[in-house]
Structure 1
Amino acid sequence: MRAPASSPTLIGRESDLVALRDALRDAEAGEPQAVVIGGEAGIGKSRLLEEFLAGQEATATVLLGRCVDLGDDAAPYAPFAGVLRRLIQTVGLDRVLDATGSGAGVLSALLPELADESAVPPRIGAERLYELVTVLLEKISGDRPVILAIEDVQWADRSTLELLRFIVRMAEGGRLLVVLTYRSDEVPRGHVLRSWLPELERTRRVTRWELSRLRPEQVAELVAELLGRVPDDPSLARVTELSEGVPFFVEELVCIDGLRSGDDLPATLRELVLTRFERLSDPAQRLLRVLAAGGVCVTHELLAAVFEGTPDELDAGAREAVVANLLSADSTEYSFRHALVREAIHADLLPGERTRFHARYAEALEQSPQRSAVQLSSHWLAAHDVRRAFLASLEAMEEAKRSYAYATTAAMGDRVLELWDRIPDAETLSGRDRASVIARTASALRNAGNNERALALVESALAEADDLPPSRRARLLRDKGQYLANLNRPGSAELLEEALSLVPPEAVSPGDPLRPHLLTELAAQRMLAGLFDIAIETARAAIAEAESAAPAMRSVAHNILAASLIESGRIEEGFAEFEIAGRLAVGDAGATLRHAVNASDALNSVGQYAEAVRLAESGVAQARERGVERTSGVWLAANTAEPLIALGQYDRAEEMLRIALGFDDRTGVTAQLQRARLWVWHGEPQRAEALLRRLRTPLRALAELEQQTRLSLARVSAEVAIALGDYDRAWAEARGVGSLPFRSLPGYDLPVLASASRALAELAARGGGAGGASGRGGDAAGGDGALDGALDVLAEAARLEATLDRLRAWPTARAWAPLVEAELATARAAVSDTADRAERYADALAAWESAIAAAGDAVAPVHLRPYALLRGARVALAAGERSRADVLVAEGRQAAVSGGIPLLVQVADALAEHPAGRPAAVATAHGQPLTEREEQVLALIEQGLSNKQIGERLYISAKTASVHVSSILRKTGASSRTEAVYLASRPLP
């Protein structure tokens, strides 16, 4: 009697099984979960997964897919084809089509047999396909929980990995558990999983662990379970030594004649893996050799077409291999029980066998209704038929492109280019020249996110393009410009201008969209750079040359013209152009989305927040109806957050940002920036600061090209610094507004200008600047201590006021201008030589009254009024008007509470407890100013609170409070808390 191939009892993996069941329980509660299990070959990943899934099939829909080791030649989405076929078998085709709704036709990208020859599915992009599959799984999970398990993702093609990442990050509310396994010993440096796994783990719904080897006592338990008896000590010691605790090797060793003696064991692991194979009959071995050339899994139909024996011989060989526990079989396919067995058999093939078997697979696939050109290319290449491999690779490029498998498209393009010089008539066979193949491959790389390599390829195409027609070269220049823009590098506009010079109007045929497209792209680049006059001129030229172009293209040109006109101050004219863009966009999802994004952004910029939200949410609703809410609609949803923040609807803003945060591109980075703003006003500036540190590198690269990003980054950075009391940094971030490289975007300029003015007022009050008589300019402003005595407050105030004068015509200036004026008046008061405090701050107090009144205007963000009230209260304290300050603090606190702004509630509480007669700005004995947080801590020290009580009051830890207390003692030169209060309470000179 032979020992069983595997133990009926799962040994050494009990806690792992419990963890999987716990994850399923969370998923059943409506919180999608993902588990990633790693481990070396043979460690028991498949056995653990098999045990887990077997216990769930009665109550859950189990969808199992496998990745096959075909190098870089795996068919796009190969495991998902099997998953969808299993889903259709389980719930029925009608249920699947019902769940996918209007997008059902897109499923043919994964299952060609679903294609309707009478209708061509629309081109929708990879992310739309990803969203469709995600929605499908979510809807199916409403009937029963869905477990999507994919084995051996180290062999997955990049499109499969991108789809899996999308599902894990974007699944919302479905009862879905995703389980992935991978071989950790097959993920060397440079492998795609090296970066993919950490990115996947960024979402908290992912749990990842690796299976460890069995301990000696677990090996003994497993051997006894397999044998049904306790083994002799020499045999057990030899098994433990040879297997090194890897369960698969333990099972293989024990299965050798029931482990009669330690002397029977093979000397190497390769011999071990092949031992059972070599005990099969010759026909069964021949079948497994053929099968190994096809991969880990091969359908019965394909194997039957390749196997040279009779059907009876195939069945007999397969049955013998199944009984020997080398193969498993279901209703459609044969699978090696372990990939290690397949690898060992395939590696043992003779060169002639390998060539013949792969050629047979290629010939059979050419006749198969489920043919994969990618696999066809791989098999012909392995069969050394270069010409047919070339043709299959060309077909595979188109096949992969239709499935939005851009990484595979690029890989096949690379193969075509590698084979090009080996095919004498390559250009005739392909119907295109080499430069065209390079351009197509580069485009696929761009769509796959590899812009660096796309750029390198298109540059090589340009190097070979001397003999190409000017229009071809112009398109290559356009492509290069796009890749540079995607990499946030300069030079795109110059390349577009060069492309336009190659194709003057008289050189293109009527109706050719090349020039209008180039002009539209150039106008967009100029608009993003803040060069609105040039953008207007270029967009008008694009419109003039696009009279016969598609409405969607004309819509985009009018869209860019509209945004540029508005930013130039021609607001009514700009919104009229937006009306035209909207009408032309009807029926085209991309143009409609672009119109909604830019028009809602313009409405937000002029202070029409509610209308901006209405338009943006209408666009999000349309995206939801089309099933693209989590793809195309993401940017629009993120764009909606800003006017929602202005309206004080912080929870809705957070909800809008939530999905966008899962993206790694510009959308995700911009959403993270808005999230940092939310955290500031939530009273969590430290958390916002940590987020900003992570974002600063990608944002700075983007800010080099886009003025809106530059100003948004400056605004959020300054607001975070002000909330932390770091006015040196706030000034450094915001002081450049209104001057190069800050080109004016008035709606974005005004908040940055307000932050710069606030920082200037604080620095002046803390002795960080001088009056006009000092004659020292502000260019010395820098980091810690760099501002001390080097800032000409009056000169800087005049400069900022001049910037404000240029912005006064902008609609939102009604709210922001009085605030800026009040801050500048406060800065001037701080450096005034007037001895009487009331007289010194009289103008500033009057300015704050005006600012408070203006903050009630409809164009003012909700936070502006409580902010102005509390700033006015601080100035009243500086002027010695405690009663007036108390009134302003009470009103400001009430407004902050009703507006749901915790940061300002904290500020109000600190001001309410401020010692009477002590100015808000504190001068210290060592000339170092206290930060705003240190002032708050000092006020609580005066009340006799302990560090723990201070931490509770300010929502910080006792340890952080202790750090602030130590800093106060150092800055004031005090030896005790009481002395620090006395020294810091002295009025400013």
Structure 2
Amino acid sequence: MSSPQMVGREGDLERLCGLLDAVNDGVPRAAVLGGEAGIGKTRLLSEFAASVPSEALVLRGQSVDLGTVAAPYAPIKDVLRNLVAAVGDSAVTDAAGPGRSALVALLPELSQGETDSGSAAQLHEAVAVVLEHVAQERPVVVIVEDLHWIDAASLNLLRFLVRALRSGRLLLLMSYRSDDVTRGHPVRGFLTELDRGRIVERWELTRLTKAQVRRQVKAILGEFPTADVLARMAERSEGVPFFVEELLGLDGCDTDDGLPDTLRDLLLARYERLEPSTQAVLRLLAAGGVRVPHVIFERVHAGGADDLDTAIREAVFASVLVIDDDDYAFRHALVREAIHAELLPGERTRFHAGYAEALEQTAGRRRVAAEVSYHWMAAHDPEKALPATIDAMFEARGAFAYATAGQMGERALELWDRVAEPEQVAEMPKIELLGRTSSHLRNAGENERAIALIDLALAESSPDQPLQYARALRDKAFYLANVGRPGSIELLEQAGELVPPGSPGDLRATILTALSGRLMLEARLDEAIAMAANAHAEASAIGSRRYLSISSNIAGVCLAHAGDVDGGLARLEEARVFADGDGISSLRYWVNASDLHYLLGRYDSAVALAEDGLARARELGVERISGVILAANAVDPYLALGEWARADELIARGLSLDPPFAFKVYLQRARMWRLLWGGDVATAAEQLRALQPTVAALVEVEMQTRLGIALVAAEIAIAQGDLARAWDEASVLFRPVHRAIPGYDLPLLWVAARVTASIRRERALAAAQTCTKANSHATSATRSSVDLDEADRDIRTALDGATSWPTAPFWIALVEAELGGASADGTDADLWRRAILAVRDSSAPVHLLPYAQLRMGEAAIVVGHRDAAHEALAAAAHDADAAGITLIGDAARAVAKRARLGVAAPEPLGADDPETASAEPLTPREQQVLELVARGLSNREIGSELFISGKTASVHVSAILRKLGASTRTEAVFLAGATTR
């Protein structure tokens, strides 16, 4: 009674085919199909899979229903095993490159003697690289069905693939049962992300119309139904194709006699017509899941082989079962669920116990502990469920499925008191299980649950067990740091006291290095240097090059910030040498070294170090995970160099890959700063308002984040004219909690000086005005209670403490100019001339020169030097426009207009045309794109030339057309005067 042709899904099939055609441009696509049970999702995907060209490779993965804790990576394993079957294991492992060991951790059968190792980051990267590699050779369709049953690890991997895949003829299709994805379901959040970012096409299959039901009946029966039958069929099925087929299986639904009254009865109707022996086989099969391998089922089945064959054959002929290779599967999961619900308590216990034993006997190299745990739990046998669950926890951890490992650990803790001697059964004390489970939850991002469990571990242990208690204290410190909450330092100090020198293992080394790192982040530099020395001594004693590198790294950064720049750089070089061959410490070196070089004003070397680190991340197979952190470190130096298009690309790319929380904040801060100086003050302010609640805790424990957010927040407030708020943000430098870090302090000191000078000018203007209606509303500056003389003293005192920092000369020149003039309001033109000379230094960020020229022009106007003002403002507008610093370019023209100095708007390419003379200037990146357009390249080809996506190239082309007032690409080339080369 299955329809020989699919009805009512022609438009959906065409849409899927269109997506497959679209991937031929080399850019992956993805789509998610939703719909209620029985609506035809699997049928549609099967029809589509059958329709793809023969050269395309179709890889299918099926999520498995194991109750509340799904088997880790079940659909991903299916996809990869299908891929291995299609192209061979060596092709897959070779394509994985440095991620091969992580792939082996997921599929042990791929091992050729090497030990499985790596990380979740390497596994994600390896899967992405393998799929991209194969999709360069041929179109690849990956189908992952039944997301409503998917495990957290697979969902995270799919989330990564959607964000990270950038090349190859790859189409990723996913399906889910919409009535099972209720509020709180993890897939709900995944779908919301897709909708918010418009990353993936998503639609739901609708029920069939009455006319479509009529066509489906005709396809099945070979003739159209009578009006009565059609009406009855449409009413009872409600347009769900699967229910139409089930109803037709009941003697064609000719009359109302014998028709089921409920959905459950309908689902069981075919089953109940089978022989009792066949029903018994189906009940046994239902306990095994939607799909059961023959090798497993024949072990569970107690009867003879001939009896089993007879029963299976009858169930297949009755369209209850299908055979797929060597597996038995129910034609629809709804039928399996209905039959499973019919099991008697005794049957349920026996059947699930049988499956658990069969899986244990046939597992081989495949990891099936999650399934074994599920069946022993369903069999209500805690004595066997506990060790199976512990095994499942270890297996999940071995495959980097931390969420599943944490869930298995929590399941084991629930079983603990139901077992006579749990420590012997679990082969570990409860305190260890609590610690392991909390660690897995922390790695899965479940920080609050991890903290709750580690608190239980601390409550159940005591300082009388010093190493155990210290480990729990250390772990809690890590978890608090993960969520940006205070308390880590105190916990690590307490843990360090419990672990004396010479203690076994590397526990003391991890505690001391972590403590020195937290002290560094809070800018307690002297304490951090001393603690790093202790950590270094401990690392030397245990022979750990990793901790030797990390301790040298921390000491180097702190020494530099404390004033010994040369000594700090020397210690960082030591860290690099010690890190050789170790991925974790080497990446940490590249991150800190590139950041320090940026703060020292060595922007080219900062970029080079970040790029070197990115290359190392690529070698380690974590380019799109840890590499994002290094790419983020290149953003600020690129902004300082004026390579804003490159910075924009890194920011967008980094945020799309969902980096760790702290680095996401760094990228968001850079994006806001870029928007502000690019002239989009409103969007920058909007993003700041959205970010501030989430970053509140982090700024309390990370000094560099506190100062970075304060800097951009103060600058946004200045641009909005809210000087009281700007001072509130900038004055973080003068609060008791602040500890000086010259590289971060100096830019904020300049901003603080800008604020005090602006407040003075506004107060002077308000005092000079007569008491008119226009003066009845006080400005934020006149309302402010800032003691400006005290503020100036604080600024100069802080500045005196930072004079030895390499970039101090130009920052000092700017501060002196801001506070210059008879009224300390920044109106001394001579001081601004000196500032202009100072910021021409290569270590000064590019935006400072046009800013100083703008302020020079304003000061010259005050003293009546109109020629000097015109020259400075024209230079400010020109330099700002050339660098894309719209905030300053617009401000310079506005000042000139008010003073009637006539500074011209920027002229784009083709400015001889009067219709385009007032257009916006093309950015350097847009000029590059325009040259490639003139050569006749498509958006995709432009993207390949410039190492950007075709979509990004399209955005640039659209901006060029808008700015030039052109309607076509050819017209844009003509208007710009570009020549084809």
TM-score exceeds 0.5: yes
1:179-578 map, 5 Å: 179-368=173-362, 369=364, 370-466=366-462, 469-505=465-501, 508-509=502-503, 512-549=505-542, 550-578=544-572
Distance in 2 (alpha carbons) for counterparts of 1:214 and 1:823: 72
Distance in 2 (alpha carbons) for counterparts of 1:790 and 1:394: 63
Quote how far apart the aligned CAs of 1:307 are: 2.2
Check whether the contact 2:352–2:375 (CA below 8 A) recurs between aligned residues. Answer: yes
Percent pairwise identity: 46
1:180 partner SS: strand
2:601 partner SS: coil
- Change in 2 beyond 3 A, CA 1:516/1:88: closer
- Change in 2 beyond 3 A, CA 1:952/1:323: farther
Check whether the contact 2:714–2:726 (CA below 8 A) recurs between aligned residues. Answer: yes
Check whether the contact 1:409–1:444 (CA below 8 A) recurs between aligned residues. Answer: yes
Check whether the contact 2:25–2:169 (CA below 8 A) recurs between aligned residues. Answer: yes
Q: How many residues align?
A: 899
1:163 partner SS: helix
Distance in 2 (alpha carbons) for counterparts of 1:224 and 1:565: 82
2:33 partner SS: strand
Q: Find the partner of 2:162 among 162, 165, 168.
A: 168
Check whether the contact 1:328–1:334 (CA below 8 A) recurs between aligned residues. Answer: yes
1:816 equivalent to 2:800? Answer no
1:554 partner SS: helix
Distance in 1 (alpha carbons) for counterparts of 2:66 and 2:583: 37
Distance in 2 (alpha carbons) for counterparts of 1:486 and 1:9: 51
1:357 partner SS: helix
Quote how far apart the aligned CAs of 1:156 are: 0.8
Distance in 2 (alpha carbons) for counterparts of 1:796 and 1:557: 38
Q: Find the partner of 1:884 among 868, 883, 888.
A: 868
1:214 partner SS: coil
1:663 partner SS: coil
Check whether the contact 1:641–1:656 (CA below 8 A) recurs between aligned residues. Answer: yes
Aligned residue type for 1:613 = V
Matched residue, 2:772: none
Distance in 2 (alpha carbons) for counterparts of 1:580 and 1:379: 54
Structure 2: 5+ residue stretches without partners: 768-777, 906-915, 923-981
Matched residue, 1:857: 841
Q: Find the partner of 1:620 among 602, 614, 618.
A: 614
Distance in 2 (alpha carbons) for counterparts of 1:219 and 1:143: 42
Quote how far apart the aligned CAs of 1:538 are: 1.1
Distance in 1 (alpha carbons) for counterparts of 2:46 and 2:355: 30
1:53 equivalent to 2:49? Answer yes
Distance in 2 (alpha carbons) for counterparts of 1:384 and 1:916: 88
1:95 partner SS: helix
Matched residue, 2:89: 93
- Change in 2 beyond 3 A, CA 1:243/1:145: same
Question: For structure 1, which segment, 194-203 or 385-394, has the greater mean C-alpha deviation from structure 2 after superposition?
Answer: 194-203
Quote how far apart the aligned CAs of 1:449 are: 0.6
For 1:931-971, what per-residue CA distance to the aligned partner results, in whole angstroms no more than 9, with x for missing partners? xxxxx9xxxxxxxxxxxx9998799xxxxxxxxxxxxxxxx
Distance in 2 (alpha carbons) for counterparts of 1:636 and 1:522: 23
Matched residue, 1:84: 80
Check whether the contact 1:5–1:255 (CA below 8 A) recurs between aligned residues. Answer: no
Distance in 1 (alpha carbons) for counterparts of 2:901 and 2:84: 78
Matched residue, 1:867: 851
Q: Find the partner of 2:891 among 907, 911, 917.
A: 907
1:110 equivalent to 2:106? Answer yes
Matched residue, 1:982: none
Quote how far apart the aligned CAs of 1:808 are: 1.9
For 1:251-308, what per-residue CA distance to the aligned partner results, in whole angstroms no more than 9, with x for missing partners? 2112322222243421111111111122233343233222211111112222222223
Check whether the contact 2:722–2:781 (CA below 8 A) recurs between aligned residues. Answer: no
- Please provide the CA RMSD for this pair: 2.7
Matched residue, 1:601: 595
1:93-172 map, 5 Å: 93-116=89-112, 118-122=113-117, 124-172=118-166
1:825 partner SS: coil
Question: For structure 1, which segment, 150-159 or 710-719, has the greater mean C-alpha deviation from structure 2 after superposition?
Answer: 710-719
1:582 partner SS: helix
Quote how far apart the aligned CAs of 1:186 are: 1.2
- Change in 2 beyond 3 A, CA 1:64/1:335: same
1:651-800 map, 5 Å: 651-661=645-655, 662-663=657-658, 665-666=660-661, 667-767=663-763, 785=780, 787-788=782-783, 790-800=785-795
Quote how far apart the aligned CAs of 1:829 are: 5.1
1:37 partner SS: strand
For 1:328-366, what per-residue CA distance to the aligned partner results, in whole angstroms no more than 9, with x for missing partners? 222232222211011011111222222221111111111
Distance in 1 (alpha carbons) for counterparts of 2:863 and 2:319: 89
Quote how far apart the aligned CAs of 1:743 are: 2.2
Distance in 1 (alpha carbons) for counterparts of 2:354 and 2:901: 94
Aligned residue type for 1:144 = R
Matched residue, 2:2: 5
- Change in 2 beyond 3 A, CA 1:951/1:434: farther
2:171 partner SS: strand
Quote how far apart the aligned CAs of 1:784 are: 7.2
Distance in 2 (alpha carbons) for counterparts of 1:789 and 1:674: 29
Quote how far apart the aligned CAs of 1:705 are: 0.5
Matched residue, 1:976: none
Check whether the contact 1:769–1:793 (CA below 8 A) recurs between aligned residues. Answer: no
1:828-843 map, 5 Å: 828=823, 830=825, 841=827
- Change in 2 beyond 3 A, CA 1:467/1:491: closer
Structure 1: 5+ residue stretches without partners: 772-782, 832-840, 921-935, 937-948, 956-989
Q: Find the partner of 1:898 among 882, 900, 913.
A: 882
Distance in 2 (alpha carbons) for counterparts of 1:719 and 1:86: 55
Check whether the contact 1:677–1:688 (CA below 8 A) recurs between aligned residues. Answer: yes
For 1:378-407, what per-residue CA distance to the aligned partner results, in whole angstroms no more than 9, with x for missing partners? 111212222111111111111111111111
1:610 equivalent to 2:607? Answer no
Alignment TM-score, normalising by the size of structure 2: 0.87
Aligned residue type for 1:446 = R
Distance in 2 (alpha carbons) for counterparts of 1:256 and 1:376: 38
Check whether the contact 2:757–2:819 (CA below 8 A) recurs between aligned residues. Answer: yes
Aligned residue type for 2:532 = A
Matched residue, 1:802: 797
Matched residue, 2:637: 643
Aligned residue type for 1:566 = A
Check whether the contact 2:41–2:175 (CA below 8 A) recurs between aligned residues. Answer: yes
Aligned residue type for 2:160 = F
Matched residue, 1:961: none
2:313 partner SS: helix
Check whether the contact 1:826–1:875 (CA below 8 A) recurs between aligned residues. Answer: no
Aligned residue type for 2:446 = N
For 1:831-850, what per-residue CA distance to the aligned partner results, in whole angstroms no more than 9, with x for missing partners? 9xxxxxxxxx4xx1111001
Check whether the contact 2:61–2:79 (CA below 8 A) recurs between aligned residues. Answer: yes
Distance in 2 (alpha carbons) for counterparts of 1:453 and 1:792: 47
2:137 partner SS: coil
Aligned residue type for 2:421 = D
- Change in 2 beyond 3 A, CA 1:340/1:597: same
